[in-house]
Structure 1
Amino acid sequence: MPIGEELHALAGLCDDAGDLILTYFCDGVRVDRKADDSPVTEADRRAEDVILSGLARLYPNIPVVAEEAASGGRVPEISDRFFLVDPLDGTREFVSGRGDFTVNIALVENGQPVLGAVFAPHRGTAFVGNVGTGAFERMSQAQAGSQWRKIAVRSRAPANPIAVASRSHRDAKTDDLLDRLAMDERVSVGSSLKFCLLARGDADFYPRFGRTMEWDTAAGHAVLVAAGGRVAGLDGGPFLYGKRNQSFDSDFANPGFLAAGDDNLIARAAALNLATNGSDTTI
């Protein structure tokens, strides 16, 4: 199924970066530490170079905020339209030899991701989303003639919804909320793949209390919304991008959020959060 020129271009850049990352995954890689003590590898840096070079060629007039460049203090002036790039989301999974890592590119317009591409190189699976035309999955990059298929959320969650949560950053607040929502079936997955499981209807709800950055979430956010889902703040309100000069955290840092295919799940979770924590959306 055709996915459109822009999504095709973003998916191609993700493929190129993912192919490079796999060479490090197979051969091993040294792990360094950034200023915030999060891990970074040569695979992160080189994959980001591939993506930045491609975006500069394809979209020279759109600024790009990329994780490793931003960590080094290289952040362009942004307007209402800019790219967010995470060249290797799930670095902890990557260095541990687990395959739940992804390449992510998103286009943000007026505070919302409108295009997103997510590629899981080890799995060979890619997801793209355009909020105007829908979300799509490509099952295997390696298979000749592999096609994109349209995907959609479960807009009505089943009687026993499936929750998806972080593998490396699971916390007590997440488990407490899922307990109060009586969501006993829980899947642990790393990286932005959590959004993609919701987008293709394999899971129903993804809460996040811990800290993330905009480049971690934007591409998966776009795919989920394009598939019919929603991402909201912990109070159920809008979840925005392009956050600068925040009093509670650094530029482009996210507060907690709720993601789901069925908006009723977000409403229920937001009501519980407000009853417990009041208007605090930074937890």
Structure 2
Amino acid sequence: MVEKISCIARVAGAEVMKIYNRSIKLYRYKKLDTSPVTNADLFSHKIIMCLLKHLTPDIPILSEEDITKWKECRDKNCFWLIDPLDGTKDFLLHNGEFTVNIALIEYGQPIMGVVYVPVYNILYAADNGQVWKINSQGKRLNISVRTSHNPIVVMSRSNNICYDQYKLHNYLKTLKNYKIINIGSSFKFCLIAEGSVQFYPRFSYTKIWDTAAGHAIAMTAGAVVNDWYGNPLHYKNINRSFLNPGFQVSLN
């Protein structure tokens, strides 16, 4: 199954790249919450929805671009949770830090996750207790988290994120010799999973489709994904807000 999901993510990513590279004209719109959406988001969504429905017709799908089935997903033990283009702002900035996210949720936990980074042609996947990266040359590499005496803290690139400076200050006091980098999208989870960075604190809300696939990958690689009260991030009891609490991804 995960190989088929990986192929779906690649097909969607290829369509996104046609617009990113301007071989298809870019169209930009605003959602009701004023966040941007493009025809790349919508094309990717259409492809993933069509292929997932063909592959698993009995499993409902919740997508950032189609929330009509959210109650059915809430009431089912198993559903797909997708973000057809995570990091639309990064897509528009042309910095390459956007992803295609597909996760399978079972009893509130992400049990399978695929994150594809189209610009770099890198794919991360987790399933059945195994996690790997397929690099741009097509080589499959097993990955896991790694500690460092000079840890790297990865944080969102978005200028619209207002970090709680008091919480951030207290968080950073627990670390030594750290460096902060800013990266967009669920790519942050994947960098922790492969051992390139060690910590990802998030003090503001996210949507559940922003995190599920990356969560599966980071967790399977050995990371802990908890809210600030120490509870594992979960996808049970979803409601119309689709919000996650603040959380941290760390090595313990």
TM-score over 0.5 for the alignment? yes
Instruction: Show CA shifts across 1:42-84 (max 9, x none).
Output: 11011001001110111111111000112xx453502111110
Match of residue 114, structure 1, among 99, 111, 114: 111
In 2, are the aligned partners of 1:241 and 1:252 still within 8 Å (CA)?
no
Q: Is residue 167 from structure 1 mapped to residue 157 from structure 2 by the alignment?
A: yes
CA distance in 2: counterparts of 1:177 and 1:24, whole angstroms: 42
Q: Per-residue displacement from partner, 1:182-203 (whole Å, max 9, x unpaired)?
A: 3530111100000000000011
Partner of residue 127, structure 1: 124
Provide TM-score, normalisation by structure 2.
Answer: 0.92
Unaligned residue ranges in structure 1 (runs of 5+): 1-5, 264-283
Report deviation, 1:175: 3.8
Task: Tell me how far apart the structure 2 counterparts of residues 229 and 66 of structure 1 sit (CA, whole Å).
Answer: 25
Q: Which of residues 179, 183, 186 is equivalent to 2:180?
A: 186
Distance 1:22 1:119 in 2: 12
| Cα root mean square deviation, aligned | 1.6
- Which residue in 2 is equivalent to 1:136? 132
Name the aligned partner's letter for residue 237 of structure 1: N
State the alpha-carbon separation in 1 of the partners of residues 231 and 123 from structure 2. Answer: 29
In structure 1, the partner of 2:224 is 230
**Residue equivalent to 1:20:** 15
Share of identical aligned residues, percent?
Answer: 37
CA deviations 1:228-272 (Å, max 9, x no partner) are 112111111121103334xxxx43211111111x21xxxxxxxxx
The answer on 1:254 being equivalent to 2:248 is: no
| Secondary structure class of the residue paired with 1:122 | helix
Post-superposition Cα deviations, 1:162-197, rounded to whole Å, max 9, x if no partner, equal 111101136244642443223530111100000000
Bigger shift: residues 40-49 or 73-82:
73-82
Q: How do residues 196-275 of structure 1 correspond to structure 2 at under 5 angstroms?
A: 196-245=190-239, 250-260=240-250, 262-263=251-252
Q: Which runs of 4+ in 1 moved over 6 A?
A: none
- In 2: Cα distance, 1:177 partner to 1:90 partner: 28
Aligned-residue offset at 1:133: 2.9
Aligned-partner SS, 2:33: coil
Is the contact made by 1:232 and 1:239 (CA closer than 8 Å) also made in structure 2?
Answer: yes
Contact 2:36/2:89 (8 A) holds in 1: yes
Query: In structure 2, what residue type is equivalent to 1:189?
Result: I
Q: Does 1:60 align with 2:50?
A: no
Q: How does 1:1-20 map to 2 (within 5 A)?
A: 6-20=1-15
Q: Write the letter of the residue equivalent to 1:193.
A: F
Matched, 1:43 2:35: no
1:65/1:76 contact within 8 Å kept? no
Q: Is the 8 A contact 2:60 2:69 kept in 1?
A: no
- Measured in 2, the distance between the counterparts of 1:106 and 1:188 equals 24
Correspondence for 2:81 = 84
8 Å contact 1:236–1:258 — kept in the other structure?
Answer: no
Say how many residue pairs are matched: 244
Aligned with 1:117: secondary structure?
strand
User: Alpha-carbon deviation of 1:147?
Assistant: 2.4
Retained in 1: the 8 A contact 2:164–2:203?
Answer: no
Aligned to 1:280: none
- Which letter maps to 1:86? D
